Amino acid sequence: MLMLLLLLLSSPGESQAQHVSGQKKDGACVCEVNSNMWSFPAEEYKAALQQVTSCEESLNSLQHQVELSNERLPQIVAVIQNVTERLEPHRYLQDQGLYTDLAVHQLGQELSRLEGDIGDIHSQLNNAQTQKLSKEVGKLLKDVGRMQISKTVNMKTVKEKLRYLKNSAQSCRTIPKDFRGQDRYCLKGMMSNISDPVTTKISPYGKTIISGSWGKQAQRDSEGQKNSFWVQPLLKSHIWGNTVRVYQTYEDFMASTEHKDFTVAPSFTHANTIDGPSAILYGEALYYHCYRSADVCRYDLNSNSVKRVTLPGTGVGFNNKFPYCYYNCRANSDIEVEADETGLWALYATVGNHGNLVVSRLLWDSKAETLNVSQTWETRIFKKAVSNAFMVCGVLYATRYVDDYREEVFYAFDTATGREDNSLSLPLEKVVKGVASLSYNPTNKQIYMYNDGYLLAYQASFSTPFDTYNRK
């Protein structure tokens, strides 16, 4: 064992042999051997032992650190997950480029175009309001310039200011007199009351067809359809339809007799198919949301031809992206067409306006036979936070679910001033829970609801004129 230990402690490089010469003495060979070379290497053993001890201490310390890391790792993972979940609702800010240099540059370009538009309006009107708009857009351009350099200006604030300026410019541009409450049909002012249902009828297609729209001819003094009533059912999955039924009189409508069916598209998947509960009969045409698109269609009842226009905005919602969704989402209610005393409107939401309601005014050019968008306003009411909406004298009214037998008008946005009022509380009684569509008719001041297969109509009352009403 001693030899083995010596061999282990000695390095191969230190192995050596000792040569000695012997002498014959008394009949024997006698030699002297130096045994010091095989003495136990105590110093080397001590140094090796210290190295082993130090190595053990290092290994123990490393093992302790690994154990601590294993204990902390779940905590770190939990913190990361928590932060990720907290940031998730705000990820759209980055996805939409709200805080990137490119977004700032694009915002500057949009402001420059707006400055040019306001300049054109100012050269035509040259009043205190256009002067104020010119100063405000100039100040906002300076803020965007500072943002590109120092990033000290909040992008959200700038975008909100831009929305206000764009709405103000739209309100200044070619506004008809009736927007200002001067027309005899709009002197009634803000809506102050909604009656109990004055008409209650089951759809001629039955209660199983829970989605669609209906109403009375909405254009005043329409030649061929002056007193007609119509029903537009969504027969395919409560989402798509391709027919509209027209009754020439109220009596025919109530008795479900003497009607005429029009086919607006040859199938439920055609490009001209009606998508969602969005239709309105205005004049000699049915206006509605075109199948899976950002377009509004106009079907001519006389020629059976269809014209269309694409709605403006970044990321116009369709195909169930921004439906009415206050309580139960109404499938494919993304784009709605409405009519009032001032004409035709499209109500929808866009990604650019963060899912909030957008109001666009539609114009039919009978000479050129084209459907156009003349003006657009952006509101601050989230579309999925309302159950439906309609227009009256250029004012958007939005509703919300109260219970299974009542809705409530709670919000208004005036396109003439760009101001809003979220303090309204006008009840709408209903028969069942679901509301597919809601529209106002300027010829008789009634509101029409498609209530899950029930057809309801209400009488609207008005009080304070638009120009004196104090909106918040």
Query: For residue range 190-212, what is the model confidence (pLDDT) as tens digits?
Result: 899 999 999 999 999 999 999 99
Q: Do both 162 and 218 map to the same domain? A: no
Contact between 410 and 424 (Cβ < 8 Å): yes
pLDDT value of residue 106: 66
Q: What is the pLDDT along the chain (472 residues), one digit of tens a residue?
A: 434 444 444 544 445 566 667 777 777 777 776 666 556 667 777 777 788 887 878 788 778 777 766 676 566 556 556 656 665 655 555 554 444 555 666 666 666 776 666 666 656 666 776 677 677 767 766 766 666 555 544 555 666 656 665 666 565 554 444 344 445 567 567 899 999 999 999 999 999 999 999 999 999 877 767 789 999 999 999 999 999 999 999 999 999 999 999 999 999 999 999 999 989 999 999 999 999 999 999 999 999 999 999 999 999 999 999 999 987 889 999 999 999 999 999 999 999 999 999 999 999 999 999 999 999 999 999 999 999 999 999 999 999 999 999 999 999 999 988 888 888 999 999 999 999 999 999 999 999 999 999 999 999 998 754 444 333 3
Measured at the CA of 144, the angle between CA 88 and CA 132, to 5 degrees, comes to: 120
Residue 438 inside a domain? The answer is: yes
Q: Do both 346 and 266 map to the same domain? A: yes
Q: Do both 224 and 313 map to the same domain? A: yes
Residue 387 inside a domain? The answer is: yes
Distances, alpha carbon 277 to alpha carbons 291, 379, 458, 460, in Å:
12, 22, 19, 22
**Total domain count, the chain:** 2
Contacts of 157 (CB under 8 A, 6+ apart): none
Q: How many CB atoms lie within 10 A of CB 105?
A: 12
pLDDT value of residue 305: 97
Provide the CATH number for the domain around residue 378: 2.120.10
Strand 343-349: give its sheet, edge to edge: 336-340, 343-349, 356-365, 370-382
Q: Do both 134 and 206 map to the same domain? A: no
Residue 78 inside a domain? The answer is: no
Q: Do both 350 and 456 map to the same domain? A: yes
Average pLDDT value over all residues in the chain: 80
Residue 3 inside a domain? The answer is: no
Q: Do both 357 and 454 map to the same domain? A: yes
Residue 70 inside a domain? The answer is: no
Q: Do both 414 and 293 map to the same domain? A: yes
Q: Do both 213 and 322 map to the same domain? A: yes
pLDDT value of residue 31: 74
pLDDT value of residue 278: 87
pLDDT value of residue 469: 39
Select from 155, 172, 189 the last residue of a domain: 172
Contact between 107 and 144 (Cβ < 8 Å): yes
Q: Please state at what angle helix 2-9 crosses helix 42-87, rounded to 10 degrees.
A: 60
Q: Do both 162 and 183 map to the same domain? A: no
Residue 414 inside a domain? The answer is: yes
Q: Do both 216 and 106 map to the same domain? A: no
Select from 172, 190, 219 the last residue of a domain: 172
Select from 126, 145, 172 the last residue of a domain: 172
Residue 60 inside a domain? The answer is: no
Q: Do both 104 and 196 map to the same domain? A: no
Q: Do both 99 and 212 map to the same domain? A: no
User: Which structural domain range is residue 147 located in?
Assistant: 95-172
Residue 138 inside a domain? The answer is: yes
